[in-house]
Amino acid sequence: MKSSLFVAYLHTVILFLLLTNISFPQEPKITWGEIPKSDLEMKSYPADTNASAVILYDRGESLLDDNVEMNLNRHLRVKILNSKGYEWGTQEVDLYNGSSEEKITNIEGVTYWLESDGQVKSSKLSSKDIYHEKISAHTTRFKFTLPSLKPGCVIEIKYTIITPDVFNARGWTFQYSEPVVWSEFSICSPTNIAFSCVTTGYEQFVIRDNEETTQIFSGEAESLFHTKIMKCRQYRWAVSNAPAMREEPYITTIDDYKNKVDVQLMGYSFNGMVKEVMNGWPKAIEEFLDNKYFGSKIEETSKARKLVKQITENITSPEQKVKAIYNWITSSIVCTNGNRLYADQDINDVIDSKKGNGAEITFLFLSMLKCAGINGDPVILSTRENGKIQTLYPIVSQFNCVLAKVKLDSISYFVDATDPLRPIDLLPTKVLNVKGLVIKKDTVEWVTLASNKKTYNVAISNLNLSPDGSIKGSIEDYYKDYGAMIGRRKMKEKTGIEFAKESFDANKTGIIIDSAAVFGKDTITVPFKVTAQISLPNYAQCNGDIIYLNPHVINRLSENPFKTRSRKFPIDYAYGRSSETIINIVIPDSFEVKDPLLNRNFSACSDGLSFLRYFLAEGKKIQLRTKLEIKKSLIQADFYSTMREFYEKIVACEQEQIVLTKIKKAPEPVLEQNNKPATAIEPVAKTEPEKQKTKIKKKK
C-alpha cells in the first residue's frame, strides 16, 4: 500500500509540473531517408534571414531497455544553407565515465544534395570517420563529421546513448543557435519508477502531455519487474518554429533561456521496498555537512588557531578581524580553480602548500573565522556561466561553487576570498544576481547574491584642435569598484598602451596612443587610473572656412548593443554602472563656434537608466560633459523595446557635430601711393582757392 501511494505521489508531482495537457499541432511525419525535395531546394529561411542552417527535425526518445539502462534515441535532420552551417555536419557527444560508463551505439549519418540535373544524391557516414577522445577524468567525447557537405545539402543523423545509471537520465534541449522547425522529447518509465521533469524556457510548448502505455520487457528487466508486460507512463513535450538562441548582450548564459527539460530520478518501488532518491533540501543539507569533502573540512586546527592569533593580534573589532583574515588569505593563498564545490586538501594542507581550489579557500576562510570566534556558513550556488538552478528538487549536480556567509551585528555579508585583486566588499561578477543555498544545520535558507557596488568610470580629456582637423591632447581615465577590479585584472596581461588602446577602442576610432601610464594597479584600496597622450590625425572634417567637429572624441557609443527587435528574457547587467566623460577642446584662434550642440537629458525604465549631455562654448574653449547611469542591475524583458530606443537616442546624440567657421576680418582701409592713410589727406576745397589768389596777384 505504501509503495503504491508513494509512486502515485511521485507521478502527481510530475503531473503538477505539467500543469494541464496542452496539445496543438501533431508532430510531422518524418521517415528516415525520405527527404522532401522542397527541403533540398530551400535557399534561405524567411523567418530568419541570418540563419546558416535550419533544424528541420530533432526527436529524442528516452526509455528503459531490457538491461534496466536508460536509452536515449535521437533522430536529427538539418538543412545547411551556407558554409557557416557546416558546423552542424560535425557532431560531438560527451559521455560520462565514472562509477558507470555511458555508451553510444547505432551511429548513422547521411548527406543528401541536389545535382544540377535535379537528381538527389547521397553520401553515408563511414565508421572510420567516427573517433573519440578523453577530455577529462570522467568524460569521453565521440566526434564524427558527415561527408560531402555543401551549401544546400540536408544531413540526417541518428544514434543511441545508453546510460547505465538511471539516476543520471538525460534531459533535452529544444533550442540552438539556429532556428528549429520541430523539436520533440519524450520519456517513458514503468509506473514504479518516477522521475522529476522540470521544464524551463520562454517558448510555448505546442505539445505537453502524458499518457499511460505499456512496454514489453525481457531479460534482467523482466526478472526485476516480475512481469513481461509493464504498465508505463510516457511524458512528451514539443516546440514548433522556435527562434534561434544566439548570444546577446547582458545575459548570464544563453542556456538559461533555452527551452529545456531536466530529468532527475525521484525514487522507485520494488517488491514492497520504497527508495526515495530525492529526500528534500533538509536531507541534502545534512549530507553536505557530513560530507568528508565539504562540511568536515571546516574545522579548527592548532595551525589555523596559531595563524589567526598572529594575524589578528591587537585587533579587537570583529569586522577588522574578518578583513585581516581575508587580506591574509587573498595575498598568501593562490587559487587554482575558483569554481569548485568540494575540497581535496585539509585546512593545514592549504596553509602549507599556499594554494587551493575555490572550495578549499572558502573552507579555510570559514575555519579561520571560527578560530577567531566569528560564525560563518558556506553557501553553495551555480555561477552565472553555469546556469540558473531550480529549487523545486535537491539536484546537487546543478551547483558548482561555494563561498562564505558571515554575520556581524545582525548583518550578513557574503565573501569570496579567492582573488587578490578584489576587496572584501566586492563580490565576484560570476555570482551576482544568482541564488544560493546556505548550508546550515536544521535550516533551509535561500539567498540571492547581489551587490550595492557599481562600476564607476570618469574620463577627463584636454585636447587641442588644429586648423587641419587633427587633434592632440591628454586623457585621464579613472575607475572605481567593479571597473577598477576589471582594469587591474586586464593589466596583469597588458601594458599601459595596450590597455589604453582597448579602453578607447583605438582600432575603431583611429585614436593613436602616443604614451600611457597606469596608477593603482597593485593597490586595491585606491582608484585605478590610466593617463595617456593621444593624437587623432584628420579627425575633424575641414571644408574651406568650415570645420565639422564631433566633440564626442572618446567613449562614444557608435552602435546600439541591442540588435534584435524583441527579447523574451531579462537584461542582466550584474551590477549598476556610472560612466561620465568630460572633454575640453581648444579650437583654433581663427575659428569660432557657429552651430553648438543642444543639451540632452532623457531616461528609461522608470529612471533605471538615464543619459545627460551638457555642452558649453566660451571663446576658444568648448566643453562636453556626458553621463550614462544604469541604476538597476536587472531589467525585465517587458522594457526591452524601451531600452532599445534609449540606446538609439544615445547613438544619435553622439553622432551630432558642431560647426566651426573661420572668423572674417574687418575690411582694410584704402591707402594712397605714399601709403599714408586716406584720412590724412587735406581737403581739396581748402587749398585750391589760395593757389588761385597767388596767381592773380602776380598778374597785376
Domain CATH number, residue 595: 2.60.120.1130
Q: What is the mean pLDDT of residues 121-137?
A: 92
Q: Give the DSSP letter of residue 430.
A: G
Same domain for 488 and 444, yes or no, is no
3-state helix, strand, coil in the chain (%, to 5): 25, 40, 35
Please, which residues bridge with residue 515 across strands?
533
Asked if residue 237 belongs to a domain, the reply is: yes
Q: What local confidence, expressed as pLDDT, does residue 344 receive?
A: 92
For residues 74 and 202, state if they share a domain.
Answer: yes
Average pLDDT over residues 602-628: 95
Q: What is the DSSP letter of 683?
A: P
CATH at residue 376 = 3.10.620.30
Helix (H) or strand (E) holding 111: strand 103-114
The confidence score (pLDDT) of residue 396 equals 87
- Rounded CA separation 526/522 (Å): 9
Residue 464 maps to a domain: yes
Of how many residues is the chain composed?
700
CA distance 56 to 41: 14
Same domain? 241 vs 199: yes
For residue 688, tell me if it sits in a domain.
no
Q: Lowest mean pLDDT: which of 4-13, 165-174, 423-432?
A: 4-13
Among 188-202, 229-243, 278-292, 680-694, the range scoring the smallest mean pLDDT is 680-694
Structural domain boundaries enclosing 323: 281-449
Within a domain: residue 697? no
Residue 682 belongs to a domain = no
Same domain for 187 and 244, yes or no, is yes
Closest CA to 626 of 536, 554, 560, 573: 554
Using the predicted structure, report yes or no on whether residue 1 has a pLDDT greater than 80: no
3-state SS of 569-587?
A: CCEECCCEEEEEEEEEEEC
Residue 60 lies in a domain: yes
Q: Which three cell numbers stand for residue 613?
A: 549631455
**Minimal CA–CA distance to 581: which of 622, 609, 553?**
553
* High-pLDDT (> 90) share of the chain, %: 77
**Closest residue by Cα to residue 142 from 164, 127, 153:** 127
Does residue 327 lie in a domain region? yes
Buried b (16+ CB within 10 A) or exposed e, 69-100: bbbbebbbbbbbbeeebbebbebebebbeeee
What CATH number did the domain enclosing 57 receive? 2.60.40.3140
Helices 318-332 & 302-311 angle (0-180, nearest 10): 110
Q: Which of 243, 276, 309 is the last residue of a domain?
A: 276
Confidence of residue 531 (pLDDT cuts 50, 70, 90): very high
Residue type, position 561, single letter:
P
End-of-domain residue from the set 431, 449, 467: 449
Give residue 556's pLDDT band: very low, low, confident or very high (50, 70, 90): very high
User: Residue 165: is it exposed, middle or buried by C-beta count within 10 angstroms (0-12/13-18/19+)?
Assistant: middle
Q: What is the rounded CA–CA span in Å between residue 484 and residue 457? A: 9
Residue 291 pLDDT exceeds 60: yes
* Confidence check: pLDDT of 24 > 70: no
pLDDT value at residue 685: 44
pLDDT mean over 266-282: 81
φ/ψ bin of 137: left (φ > 0), alpha (ψ from -120 to 50), beta (otherwise)? alpha
List Cα–Cα distances, 354 to 326, 329, 360, 362, in angstroms. 14, 9, 11, 14
* 293 and 231 in a common domain: no
Kindly provide the residue ranges of all beta strands, DSSP E only, lying in 382-421, ordered along the sequence: 401-408, 411-415
Rounded-to-integer distance, Cα 629 and Cα 636, Å: 17
pLDDT category, 138, cuts 50, 70, 90? confident
For residue range 580-589, list pLDDT tens digits in order. Answer: 999 999 999 9
- Looking at every residue in the chain, the average pLDDT score rounds to 89
Task: Quote the cell numbers at residue 340.
Answer: 569548485
Q: Are residues 425 and 462 both part of a single domain?
A: no
Query: Please, are residues 499 and 591 in contact by the beta-carbon 8 Å criterion?
Result: no
Whether residue 460 is found in the same domain as residue 406: no
**581 and 556 share a domain?**
yes
Residues 636 and 555 in one domain: yes
Instruction: Tell me the per-residue pLDDT of 221-236, one tens digit each, with 9 for 90 and over.
Output: 999 888 999 999 999 9
CA atoms within 13 A on the CB side of 199: 25
**Count of domains in the chain?**
3
Q: Are residues 525 and 621 in the same domain?
A: yes
Q: Answer yes or no: are the C-beta atoms of 377 and 439 closer than 8 Å.
A: yes
In a domain, 252, yes or no: yes
At 695, is the pLDDT very low, low, confident or very high (cuts 50, 70, 90)? Answer: very low
Q: What is the pLDDT of residue 6?
A: 39
Residue 621 pLDDT level (bands cut at 50, 70, 90): very high
- Domain final residue pick, 449, 482, 512: 449
What's the whole-number mean pLDDT along residues 420-429?
93
Same domain flag for 113 and 259 = yes
* pLDDT of the residue at 696: 40
CA–CA separation, 545 vs 690, rounded Å? 53
The pLDDT of residue 25 is above 80:
no
Q: Are strands 53-64 and 180-190 parallel, antiparallel or unpaired?
A: parallel
Quote the pLDDT of residue 569: 93
**How many CA within 13 A on the CB side of residue 52?**
12
pLDDT tier at 668 (50, 70, 90 boundaries)? Answer: low
Of the ranges 161-170, 448-457, 494-503, 669-678, which one carries the lowest mean pLDDT score?
A: 669-678
- Residue 601 C-alpha cell reads as 537629458
pLDDT of 298 strictly over 70 = yes
Higher-scoring residue by pLDDT: 6, 319: 319
Q: Express each pLDDT in 332-345 by its tens digit.
A: 999 999 899 999 99
Q: What is the pLDDT of residue 280?
A: 87
The verdict on 53 and 160 lying in the same domain is yes
Given a contact cutoff of 8 angstroms between Cβ atoms, the answer to whether 350 and 417 are in contact is no
- pLDDT over threshold 80, residue 207: yes
Q: Is the pLDDT of residue 271 over 80?
A: no
Query: Coil, helix or strand for 264?
Result: strand
Please report the pLDDT score of residue 26 as a whole number.
67
| HEC per residue, 516-568 | EEEECCCCCCCCEEEEEEEEECCCCEEECCEEEECCCCCCCCCCCCCCCCCCC
What's the rounded mean pLDDT across residues 496-523?
91
Residues 286 and 442: beta-carbon distance below 8 Å = no
- The residue with greater pLDDT, 117 or 697, is 117
Burial code (b: 16+ CB inside 10 Å, e: under 16) for 101-136 equals ebebeebebbbbbbeeeeeeeebebeeeebeeeeee
pTM: 0.84
Tell me what the mean pLDDT of segment 187-210 comes to.
92
Dist CA 221 CA 556 (whole Å):
67
* 388 has pLDDT over 60: yes
